[in-house]
Amino acid sequence: MDIHVLTLFPEMFASPLQVSLLQRAQARGLLRIHLHHLRDYAIGRHRVTDDYPYGGGPGMIMKPEPIVRGIADIQARFGPAFVILLSPQGVLLTQERVKALAGKARLLLVCGHYGGVDARVEHYVDLELSIGDYVLTGGELPALVVIDAVARLVPGVVGDRHSVEDDSLFHGLLQGPQYTRPAEFAGLRVPEVLLSGNHAAIARWRRRQALATTLARRPDLLSRAQLTPQDQAILQELLAEKAEPHAS
């Protein structure tokens, strides 16, 4: 998979892209990440990429010309790409959107900065994307989040496909509690079912724990998750258990 990043600060990507899973994915040729400096597409002696907003107001706004010129040049040289503008005004990044993006052959991530991006840039992008309801200094950190989330779903990047499918949110639920050695720590024991070797019982326990964790921490996810009749029955049990202490 090819991912291009158009940014004012390519140096922000150096360290994260050279460690762990992302480094290995690139070394194996499964992921190719290309960084493009936005100032290369600005004109004039000072390579200006921002200006004061029309109508007044605080902050500086990123000019449309360098961004649009960069998008056009990158696609002309490397081929058509799905263009994403990282922006607080964008739709929220979810695991379902990550899955969709992982199916694209080529992504082009445009990093906003300063007080925002000239609205006319919207006509040159396929999607405006936000990683959460908060504001960051620029789009570089969100771009890294997108790269990492998408890379995990590229075939071969994560060795065991089941480990990806067991992640929180992959199937719409949060992951339940996980344990490793030792079997007892500070008086706290690993649940006996996980030590039993009974894989069917372990699978049932993990599904129940995933439903319980989601119900407790992110109940909003349940309305969108694909739940089986067995899941629905477990949820009814969990809700009944939750209500018991308050019963008269």
Q: What is the CATH number of the domain that holds 114?
A: 3.40.1280.10
| 141 shares a domain with 228 | no
What is the percent of the chain with per-residue pLDDT over 70, rounded to a whole number? 94
Which among 156-165, 167-176, 195-204 has the top mean pLDDT?
Answer: 195-204
What is the CB-side half-sphere exposure of residue 228 using CA atoms within 13 A?
7
| 202 shares a domain with 124 | no
| 176 occurs within a structural domain | no
DSSP 8-state secondary structure symbol assigned to residue 221? G
Listed residue (126, 82, 87) closest to 104, CA to CA: 82
| 19 shares a domain with 141 | yes
Q: With contact defined as beta carbons under 8 Å apart, do 210 and 172 qualify? A: no
| 235 occurs within a structural domain | yes
Convert the pLDDT of each residue in 209-231 to its tens digit: 999 999 999 999 999 899 999 99
- Mean local confidence (pLDDT), 6-29: 97
pLDDT value of residue 168: 61
| 28 occurs within a structural domain | yes
* Dihedral (CA of 85, 90, 93, 94) sign: negative
Q: At 245, is the pLDDT very low, low, confident or very high (cuts 50, 70, 90)?
A: low
Q: At 113, is the pLDDT very low, low, confident or very high (cuts 50, 70, 90)?
A: confident
| 51 occurs within a structural domain | yes
* Dihedral (CA of 184, 189, 192, 195) sign: negative
Helix (H) or strand (E) holding 21: helix 20-27
| 195 shares a domain with 91 | no
| 201 shares a domain with 131 | no
Find all residues with CB under 8 Å of 136, minimum gap 6, and list them: 88, 142
- Mean local confidence (pLDDT), 64-85: 98
| 199 shares a domain with 121 | no
Where is average pLDDT lowest: 28-32, 44-48, 192-196?
A: 44-48
Mean pLDDT, the chain, rounded, equals 93
| Peptide bond just before 182 cis, omega within 30 deg | yes
pTM for the whole structure: 0.88
| 159 occurs within a structural domain | no
pLDDT value of residue 1: 96
| 191 shares a domain with 144 | no
pLDDT value of residue 248: 47
| 131 shares a domain with 202 | no
Convert the pLDDT of each residue in 131-169 to its tens digit: 999 989 999 999 999 999 999 999 999 976 546 666 666
Listed residue (115, 153, 112, 157) closest to 5, CA to CA: 112
Q: What is the CATH number of the domain that holds 215?
A: 1.10.1270.20
Q: With contact defined as beta carbons under 8 Å apart, do 111 and 140 qualify? A: yes
Q: At 105, is the pLDDT very low, low, confident or very high (cuts 50, 70, 90)?
A: very high
- Mean local confidence (pLDDT), 179-204: 96
**Full residue range of the structural domain in which residue 190 is found:** 184-246
pLDDT value of residue 55: 95
